[in-house]
Amino acid sequence: MKKLLTATAATALLAGTAMAEDVKLGVLFGFTGPIESLAPAMGSGAEMAMAEVTESGKLLDGTSVVGMRADTGCIDNGLSTSNGERMIADGVSGIIGGDCSGVTGAILQNVAIPNGMVMISPSATSPGLSTMEDNGLFFRTAPSDAREGQVMADILNDRGISSIALTYTNNDYGKGLADAIQSSFEAAGGEVTIVAAHEDGKADYSAEVGALASAGGDILVVAGYLDQGGLGIIQSSLDSGAFDTFGLPGGMIGDSLPANVGADLNGSFGQIAGSGGEGAEKYFAMAEAAGFDGSSPYSPESYDAAALFMLAMQAAGSTNPADYGAKILDVANEPGEKIYPGELAKGLELLAAGQDIDYVGASGVELIGPGESAGSYREIEVTDGENKTVNFR
C-alpha cells in the first residue's frame, strides 16, 4: 500500500497504527482460489480509498485508516470465518467483504451478526443475500444476480440467441445466478436446453461437456469462475468442438480468461457489474496513477465499499458499527451533493458541517434496501484476445 501514499502520509500512517483513535478496516477477499486474479485490484481499490482519507486528515479530526487483508479462498467457509474472527479480535471497525457469495453468507452469519460488525461486499451477488436476516449489518456495492439474469437475457435476445445450454458452479453463487438467467431468458421466449452443475477443481470436464453438447444450444453459458471450473469447461468444450461461443456472466469476466484460452474465445460475450461516466473515468485514472488496473472487475466497487464505511463514520461521528451502520444508506443516496472518486475529503468536510452528500463513487452507487444495490452493468465482448466494453446496461 505504500506506493499509494505520499512519503509524508505513509510515515504518518505507519506511525499511527498503534494509536487508539486509528481505524482498521478488514479487506476480506479471495486472494487464493477461483477468483484470485481479481482480488489484488479489488484490495488495491479499497486501500486507495483509505489512503485518500488518511492523507486528507479530514476523518474525525485526523483519524488514520489502515487496511487489514485476509483470505477467503472465495469458496472456503472455514477459512473465511476464521479470518473474519481474527479481524474482530484485532479490532477492525468494519469488514470490506466477503467476495464470493457463499463465504459472504458464512461470514455474515458466523462473524458479523454475533459481533455486531458491519460488512459491505463489493462482489457477492447471490439474491439470497438480499433476504438473509442481517440485523442491518450487511450492504453491498454490486447488484444481485436477479438483476444480472435480466441483463443477460436482454443481451442474448439482442444478439439473436434463441437457445442456450447452461452450466453453473455448484454453490450458492452459481445456483442463484443460473436460476436467474434461466427464468429471465425463458420469460423472454428463449429456450434453455439443459441446466447442469459442475464442480470446481477437477482435472477433466469431458463428461460434463458431453452432456451439455448432447442437449445442444446456440451457445454455452458458463456461470462459473474464470480461474477454476469455468475455465476448464470452456477449454474442454473447445477441445472437443462441442461449443465455440460462450456466454460469460460476472464470475467469468477478467483478463486471465482470454489470456488462458487464447484466440478461440474471440466472439464470446457477457456482462460484469460496472458503470461508465464521470465517476468511473476518474477512478480509472486514479488507479493508473497508483499502479493498478482500476477497470478490473469489482475494483471500483471495492473503492466504493471502503469509502462508504469512512463517510458513514464521519456522518455518525463514531467508528462504532452500532453508531455508523444506520448512516450508510444516508451517505450513499440522495439528497445531497454528489461525491466522486478523489473527492472523499470534500465529502468528509460536508458531513462535518452537517450537510448531506450523495455518494456516487466509481460505480454509480445507489443502495435500494437491505443488502441491495441497484447497480449497472458493462456488456463485454472478447475481441483480439481482450475483454472490450461494448455497451452499458
- Residue-wise pLDDT for 238-277, tens only, equals 999 999 999 999 999 999 999 999 999 999 999 999 988 9
Residue 33's pLDDT is what? 95
User: Cα(281)–Cα(375) distance, rounded to whole angstroms?
Assistant: 17
pLDDT of residue 1: 35
- Cite the residue boundaries of each domain of the chain with CATH code 3.40.50.2300: 23-144+277-373, 146-271+377-392
pLDDT at 370: 78
What is the signed CA dihedral for 245, 246, 252, 256, rounded to 10 degrees? -10
Query: Over pLDDT 70: what percentage of the chain?
Result: 95
Beta bridge partners, 337, equal 357
Does residue 115 surpass a pLDDT of 90?
Answer: yes
For residue 168, pLDDT over 50 is answered with yes
Average pLDDT on 183-204 reads 97
Contacts of 33 (CB under 8 A, 6+ apart): 71, 72, 73, 74, 75, 76, 227, 228
CA dist., res. 62 & res. 53, Å (int): 9
| More confident call, 97 vs 7 | 97
- pLDDT at position 380, please? 97
Kindly report the length of the chain.
393
Give the pLDDT confidence score for residue 20 in this predicted structure: 40
User: CATH number for the 146-271+377-392 domain, one of 3.30.2350.10, 3.40.50.2300, 3.40.1800.10, 3.90.550.10?
Assistant: 3.40.50.2300
**Rounded alpha-carbon distances, angstroms, from residue 62 to 174, 199, 351:** 43, 48, 14
CB atoms within 10 A of CB 175: 20
Query: Among 6-10, 69-73, 139-143, 249-253, whose mean pLDDT is lowest?
Result: 6-10
How far is residue 237's CA from residue 274's CA, in Å, rounded to a whole number? Answer: 28
Query: Cα(181)–Cα(224) distance, rounded to whole angstroms?
Result: 13
Query: pLDDT at residue 226 above 90?
Result: yes
Instruction: Look at residue 369 in the predicted model and tell me its pLDDT.
Output: 81
247 and 222 Cβ atoms separated by less than 8 Å? yes
**CB-CB neighbours of 90 under 10 Å:** 11
Cell output for 48: 486507495
pLDDT of residue 8: 34
What average pLDDT does this structure show over 213-223? 98
Could you say which DSSP state residue 75 is in?
T
The pLDDT of residue 119 is: 98
Examine the pLDDT at 2 and tell me if it is beyond 80.
Answer: no
Work out the pLDDT band at 180, boundaries 50, 70, 90: very high
| Helix or strand holding residue 129 (H, E) | helix 128-131
Task: Indicate the range of 7-11, 51-55, 174-178 predicted with least confidence.
Answer: 7-11
What's the whole-model pTM score?
0.90
Give the confidence band of 98 by pLDDT, cuts at 50, 70, 90: very high
For 380, the enclosing helix (H) or strand (E) is: strand 377-383
Task: Specify the CATH superfamily of domain 23-144+277-373.
Answer: Response regulator (3.40.50.2300)
Residue 111, C-alpha cell as written in the block: 462473524
- Say which residue, 390 or 61, is predicted with more confidence: 390
pLDDT of residue 354: 97
Nearest 5°: CA angle at 56, between 325 and 364? 55
Q: Supply the DSSP string of 185-212, one letter for each residue.
A: HHHTT-EEEEEEEE-TT-S--HHHHHHH
What would the pLDDT profile of 127-155 be if each residue is shown by its tens digit? 999 999 999 999 999 999 999 999 999 99
Q: In which band, very low, low, confident or very high, does the pLDDT at 72 lie, cut at 50, 70 and 90?
A: very high
- pLDDT above 50 for 332: yes
Asked whether 296 and 48 are in contact (CB, 8 A), the reply is no
Alpha-carbon gap, residue 149 to 132, rounded angstroms: 20
Q: What is the mean pLDDT of the chain?
A: 93
Nearest-5° Cα angle at 388, 387 to 390: 140
What DSSP letter does each residue of 26-49 carry, written as one string?
EEEE-SSSTTTTTHHHHHHHHHHH
pLDDT at 59: 98
